[in-house]
Chains A and B, each alone.
Chain A
Amino acid sequence: MTSFAAPFRDRSQFAPRADYRLAPLRFGRFDAHRYIVTNDVGEYVLLPREQLVAFLGHQLHVSSDAYRALKSRHLLFDQDSECAIDLLALKYRTRAERIASFTGLFMFVVTLRCDHSCHYCQVSRQTEDEASFDMTLEYADRALEFTFRSPSPNIKIELQGGEPLLRFDLVRYIVERGEDLGRKAHKNIAFVIATNMTRLTDEVIAFCKRHDVCLSTSLDGPADLHDQHRPLRGGSSHAATIEGIVRARRALGQDAVSALMTTTPASLARCTEIIDEYVQRGFHSVFLRAMSPYGFAVRTSLIRRYGVEDWLAFYKRGLAHVLEVNRRGYRLREEYTAILLQKLFSPTGSSYVDLQSPAGIGIGGIVFNYDGAVYASDEGRMLAEMNDESFKLGHLGSDSYEDIMLSDALLDPLEATLLESAPMCSDCPFLPCCGADPVFHRATMGEPVGHKAFSAFCARQMGSIRHVISLLEDDMSARRILMEWV
């Protein structure tokens, strides 16, 4: 009979150990009773202050729940942590991988002409008959060549305007040529048309179906709310949008059409109606966005008519209603919250270009304007419409890929706004959930870094991140729903 002498370690090896080392971490006040401790990969623990002080002073008892939580989230190492550093390094590298992939989103502004007169328009659109505001074939070709210089294996081309379908011929050219170049370069390529749906002919829909093109549109809420700030000559923008959504879905499938809303002062008291409109129209995603401080929103003073606290109240009410909709059995995801959750829990973080460090300007997404100018971001283009060309990187007619991607206009703000070296951001426990927004700070504070104590962007981020983490920690039914969005 075989006997097995299992090699157990001596009992003393399992006794609680008094020593531990701190892992790289940040901490800060979370609410009136708790502090939050985070690491660079988004893991976090909430602690009362006395436990935080004990932890940082190496006095935390090894058998405490706090100790176990901190150790499991790589916020401390002890003699049993044989592979903790390897794991932390792997997680960090995985999250940073996206940076090396480089630019993946390319926005082509095929025309500045539009048939709408949206009050918050960031584009400073031109009327339909101004043909001089269309992109030329030459610039389209150069933009495509530029696009395929990117090392990213996945390319997304977004066709914008104005209303891009006013130049469907150019849209068709870019998609067909882009597909051809994508095949030769062995890259995965996807196309999206950002349209108000008024020019969605059968021909356009058939083309989108043949080439797997997705559509993105604006839906600000019920008809009266949508039409209030999106006037369309001769009809209701809401009616045209809904008709377009229905026709597009019938041909392309439910998921081929997405919608975004913009929060205006009129939206603030109507968040449940807006969300219910999305549910009624069969959407499973809603993005509660704030208004950007660019373009017509500034000229019409819309941007000044609500502040950060107003938007945060709107966001919290909206998210509560989204969670309630889910509890009733309808699957609905709030996209901004999903982005924050991905930054906390997904091994790769989030690919949302507007919330990255280093900033997503240029190296996440880039814009080719109708006139050949190249901008670091859509917001950078909007800022140029306000006579601030800080984020104009060059011109397709005169500048090479190297000239543009190595320009001071791009590299200087990228370096200056890296959160890990920005004042207040470098110490902030919410850094892993956040991102740099150099264009916002240039527009509101005159320089790309911004003084975060005064920053509306920072206040908005902190408020929403705190709220989401509070839900995760204090509301188990909300947590169950939220974790499905990761």
Chain B
Amino acid sequence: MTEANHREVDFRQAALACLDGLYSYAMSLSHNQADAEDLVQETYLRAVRAFGQLAPDSNLKSWLYAILRNVWLNQVRHAQSGPQFVEMSEEQQEDTIGQARSGDNPYASYVATAERDSVRAAVQQLPLQYREIIVLREFEGLSYQEIAEILHCPAGTVMSRLGRARDKLRLLLSVWNVRAPLEARQHEAM
């Protein structure tokens, strides 16, 4: 196998591994499942076409996130109307995390799902600038420098924005953390 073939195989594996993270980021940008899916799909199409331009030692993960953000920005600029939040269909809900398998503790699964839902809801309530930085840092583990390159801003801006985003998220979660255990107890009592 040539070096180029090795690179291609490595790229395919590494790119697929980023799928959930890219989808999470797309959801944080678009608030809309259909738009998020289109964003992710378009990102991969562009990545496959542009892979040859990527230097061998480049950060593939950051590159993919940057492509996705650029695709989203182009779509926003050309959009006639803003995105609208769409409820997930039943089929899509089956794909979500935390579904109890047979033999699992259904109450524990319910609590885990409720807690993840509360985090998700709190994140979605953040203003866009805070939302995307929280997703990139807390859920995708990108460094300040990597985030700065994706957002085209200084690393210092990432740091200060992240601090404000965490404060805001903590406040939102303090509301959800009161509500979620109450709902879980109600469910257990049923």
> Are A and B part of the same complex?
no
